[in-house]
Structure 1
Amino acid sequence: MELVEKRPKLVSFRALAFHGENKGPANGSESWTIQLTQNIEVGLAVPTVAGGTLQAVVKISLIAEATNDGKQDKKATFSAEYEAKFDYPAEVKEAEAVSLIEPEPYQYVLVAQAFPLAMTHFRREMQAMGFDARQLPLGI
Structure 2
Amino acid sequence: MIICKKFNELTVEELYEILRLRSEIFVVGQKSIYNDVDGKDITSIHVMLKEDGKIKAYLRVLQPGVSYEDASLGRVLVAVEARKRGFAKLIVQAGVNYILENFKTKGITIGAQEYLQKFYDEMGFKAISEVYLINEIPHLDMKYY
Normalising by structure 1, what TM-score?
Answer: 0.30
Larger radius of gyration: 1
Higher relative contact order (CA 8 A, sep 6+): 1
The structure with the greater share of residues assigned to strand is 1
Q: Counting helix residues as a fraction of each chain, which structure ranks higher? A: 2
